[in-house]
Structure 1
Amino acid sequence: MKILKQQTIQPNTGWADIVKKGQRIRVSGLNIVDFVVFNHANLRERLDDSRTRGNQGKLFISKGDYLFSKFNRPMMKIVEDTYTEGTHDLEKGMCSGYTYQRKAKLGRLGEYPREIREVPDHGCWENLSEVLKSWGILPEDIPSPFNIFMTMEIDGKTGKLGNTTVRPSKVAHVDLEAEIDCLVGISVCPDLMIEVKPVEVVVYGN
């Protein structure tokens, strides 16, 4: 396969483009990436985290697993995954400016393992809203994402979710192959748990 598109995405910004059936998209980085998918032929059909978990009977997905739509259609398949330190997330959803402003208002910034000198005024929801609006997608229609490189702690008894600082120790990548023509949206999460670096996106095809 040859490189068709390549983009460096800066922290707390987004990117969106078409990935056609049979093409592959590689996401490479050291920190959390919020990843959403739409059927390019019907943008009302989009990634559904609950179908993705339920149809495969697991909370964590990796190589050989699929991203499903609400219509139970496989949209993309994970064909390569070099992240070995932890797992990807299908539970937490996406951050927004409200997420951080609320924590600041409640005096909870001390929960983070590093000093927070500036509270983000926007997050992944706003980033995805901005890059997807060219396709007529409204903010309220953006689905919960597949959170690449986001390792969560999940209490098996209470179901409580906990953030961790587990991230790739060196640049890792996830490759996904499109099962249908897809519109993909990506946000590099501001992720206050660690210092955030840019993320590389490459689309491959014949």
Structure 2
Amino acid sequence: MKPFERIPPCSARAEVLATGDELVIVDPEGQQVSDLVAFNADDLDEYLSSGRSIDYAARLWLTRGDPLYSNRSRPMFEIIEDTCGRHDFTLTPCSKDTFRIIYGETDGRPGCEGNLAAALAPYGIGVDRIPIAFNVFMHVAFDPDTGAVAVKPPLSKPGDHIRLRALMPLVVAMTACSAGQSNNFRYKPIDYRVDRARPANAEGAVTAD
């Protein structure tokens, strides 16, 4: 089994997945978020959709057994393992404007939005095409009376992971989040590994590495 790759703090990586490949995302130190976006590798106009996924699950917090749908209502991923159990699929990736508006920063850090766009640039995906991300390990709370939104430290502990199986060929990108509210203001790395699906055996079954 191949070793994990490391995404350094405040950066992103992209991978191409075949149908049946499994993507494992690990929080190595605890309380860190990874923004995940995905596109159909055969038609980049099809992308991972927050609205479709939440609508069909009829709940905000998706976990093991849940499919993640595209904007065309087709399953793109299935969550097959989840040791944390709390992620967010409502907030957009942080950007230089996020840091200006929320934190008062003026140095123009790219944030997860810019880092995702940089990782996806070789595939012709620009910043204006970055959708709401599946924010792995992100802890977002909602007040039931007012609807107020609060970003809290993640519930993930060191070594927590999520495993997603690709249900179509995908271009995916992941971050080690740059927003302080998302990681308790301790910017840390994220680890990941792609377990490639093996070719079909004599009986036609496909197995993973």
* Aligned partner of residue 15 in structure 1, secondary structure: strand
The residue aligned with 2:58 is 57
Unaligned segments of structure 2, at least 5 residues:
199-209
Structure 1 letter corresponding to 2:135: N
Equivalenced residue count is 191
How far 1:134 sits from its partner (Å)? 0.4
Gaps of 5+ in 1: 110-117
1:1-206 superposed matches below 5 A: 2-3=1-2, 6-29=4-27, 30=30, 31-84=32-85, 87-105=86-104, 121-193=109-181, 194=184, 195-205=186-196, 206=198
CA spacing shift, 1:196–1:203, aligned 2, 3 Å? same
Provide, for residues 25-63 of structure 1, a one-character-per-residue CA deviation record: whole Å limited to 9, x for no partner: 000012110000100010010011000000111100000
Deviation (angstroms), 1:139: 1.0
SS at match of 2:180: coil
The RMSD of aligned alpha carbons is: 1.8
2-side partners of 1:57 and 1:202: how far apart? 30
Local SS of the residue matching 1:53? helix
| TM-score, with length taken from structure 1 | 0.87
Runs of 4+ residues deviating >4 angstroms: none
% identical equivalent positions: 28
Residue 15 of structure 2 aligns to a residue in which SS?
A: strand
* TM-score, normalised with respect to structure 2: 0.86
The alpha-carbon deviation at position 141 of structure 1 amounts to 0.9
